[in-house]
């Protein structure tokens, strides 16, 4: 248990971060011109276009051929980056192709990830297929998790990977640690440091491959727990940022595409905060057992399945809009407005704060859970109104 004194010391740095973000956004909205937000079915940043600041984008198809003078946060189906990102890139998509240049780190998750460009910082990736093509360059550490992993480029520092099968045929200057079902050291491989791998069988090494450091083979019958924790910790940090990016992009997408419904939802929730919280609390804990009881009946299986999907969908939307509601409330208090106003500034305030306070024991959970249940209750009311064919009072 954390004592009150310890909790205050732990929370103080986050409090200053939160106050700084809120004060900056509330007092100087003009400064937010350095943030570019785009949401559409298809987005193209053509060659020659320069985004002066961070770019947040959500699209079915996204192509970045120009330059982003800041961070890139993107989510979509097919994402192609052939331009330049001066700082970090956080990308989630079905198929991701990076042939341009990234000045900082690249954190990505998707079905297929192809890298043929240059990443000056770390590469942290989770995907079904990961291919670092010949000509690619990664200047920092590499942490990978995938079904099929092929490394053909130049990796300046260390490599840690978990893969179904892995082909290593590039240049790696740092140590390599791998857990895989099958490891192949290809013809053009140049490993300048130690290689340690866990596998059911010894690696297949091409006669022309260069392995200069010591090689340690661990027959899989257990797991190096320290090494596994390292992988999970690095991937956990990456997925924290990916969840944040996807939530932020989803919030902006909901605002730009459903502006009036978003305004009505958040305004109603905050105007009836206590009532909606109690309703959300009851529904969140009562509906799952009810669905389970319905599932036990023969004719109730389809109804239970549909109810489960609705419950899950409402929960996912509530996670996104709980941060928006938090930002809307904070900006109303800071600007002393009479009405609740959902805006892109409220999204950029609320969702980052919601993620930041998750790091604070107890308080962070309670704050996020409270706003989640308020939105959860309001959403269920609106879903029920649609089912009845009525209107929300």
Task: Tell me the three state secondary structure of residue 100.
Answer: coil
What integer pLDDT is reported at residue 302 of this predicted model? 61
Q: Is residue 317 classed exposed, middle or buried when 0-12, 13-18 and 19+ CB atoms within 10 A define those classes?
A: middle
Helix axes 301-335, 259-271, angle to 10 degrees: 80
Look at residue 231 and tell me whether its pLDDT is greater than 60: no
> What is the reported pLDDT for 101?
96
What is the per-residue pLDDT for 30? 43
Give the burial class of 30: count Cβ atoms within 10 A of its Cβ; 0-12 exposed, 13-18 middle, 19 or more buried.
Answer: exposed
Alpha carbon of 263 to those of 159, 268, 304: distances in Å?
47, 8, 31
Which of the pair, 94 or 1, is modelled with greater confidence? 94
Three-state DSSP at 67 gives strand
The residue ranking higher by pLDDT, 17 or 143, is: 143
Query: Across all residues in the chain, what is the average pLDDT?
Result: 80
More confident residue, 292 or 128: 128
Q: Is the pLDDT of residue 361 over 80?
A: no
Place of tokens 């308020």: 374
pLDDT surpasses 80 at 337: yes
Using DSSP bridges, classify how beta strands 210-211 and 215-219 pair: parallel, antiparallel or unpaired.
unpaired
Pairing between β-strand 171-172 and β-strand 204-205 as defined by DSSP bridges? unpaired
Confidence of residue 205 (pLDDT cuts 50, 70, 90): very high
- CA–CA gap between residue 141 and residue 161 (Å, rounded): 11
284 or 133, which is more confident: 133
Tokens found for residue 84: 């330049």
Q: Are strands 142-151 and 84-85 parallel, antiparallel or unpaired?
A: unpaired
Would you state the pLDDT for residue 192?
93
């Amino acid at each position: 248990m954390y004592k009150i004194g310890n909790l205050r010391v732990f929370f103080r740095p986050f409090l200053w971060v939160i106050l700084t973000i809120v004060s900056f956004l509330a007092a100087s909205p003009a400064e937010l011109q350095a943030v570019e937000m785009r949401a559409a079915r298809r987005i193209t940043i053509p060659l020659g276009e320069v985004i002066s600041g961070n770019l947040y984008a959500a699209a079915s198809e996204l192509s970045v051929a120009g330059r982003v003078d800041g961070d890139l946060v993107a989510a979509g189906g097919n994402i192609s980056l052939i331009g330049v990102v001066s700082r970090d890139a956080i990308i989630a998509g079905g198929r991701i192709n990076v042939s341009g240049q990234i000045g900082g780190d690249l954190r990505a998750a998707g079905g297929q990830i192809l890298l043929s460009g240059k990443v000056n910082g770390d590469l942290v990736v989770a995907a079904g297929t990961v291919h670092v093509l010949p000509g690619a360059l990664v200047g920092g550490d590499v942490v990978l998790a995938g079904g099929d992993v092929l490394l053909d480029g130049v990796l300046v520092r260390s490599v840690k990977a978990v893969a179904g099968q892995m082909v290593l045929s590039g240049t790696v200057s740092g140590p390599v640690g791998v857990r895989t079902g099958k490891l192949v050291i290809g013809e053009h491989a140049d490993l300048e440091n130690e290689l340690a791998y866990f596998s059911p069988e010894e690696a297949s090494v091409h006669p022309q491959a260069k392995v200069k450091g010591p090689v340690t083979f661990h027959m899989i019958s257990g797991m190096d727990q320290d090494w596994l924790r390292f992988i999970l910790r690095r991937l956990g940090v990456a997925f924290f940022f990916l969840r944040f990016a996807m939530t932020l992009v989803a919030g902006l997408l909901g605002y730009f595409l459903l502006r009036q419904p978003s305004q009505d939802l958040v305004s109603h929730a905050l105007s009836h905060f206590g009532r909606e919280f109690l309703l959300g609390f009851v529904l969140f804990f009562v509906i799952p057992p009810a669905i389970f009881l319905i599932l036990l009946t023969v004719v109730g299986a389809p109804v239970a399945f549909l109810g489960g999907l609705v419950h899950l969908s409402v929960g996912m939307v509530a996670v996104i809009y709980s941060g928006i509601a938090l930002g809307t409330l904070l900006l109303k208090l800071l600007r002393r407005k009479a009405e609740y106003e959902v805006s892109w500034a409220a999204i950029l305030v609320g969702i980052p704060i919601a993620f930041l306070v998750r790091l604070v024991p107890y308080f962070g959970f309670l704050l996020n859970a409270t706003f989640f249940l308020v939105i959860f209750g309001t959403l269920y009311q609106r879903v029920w109104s649609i089912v009845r064919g009525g209107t929300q009072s």
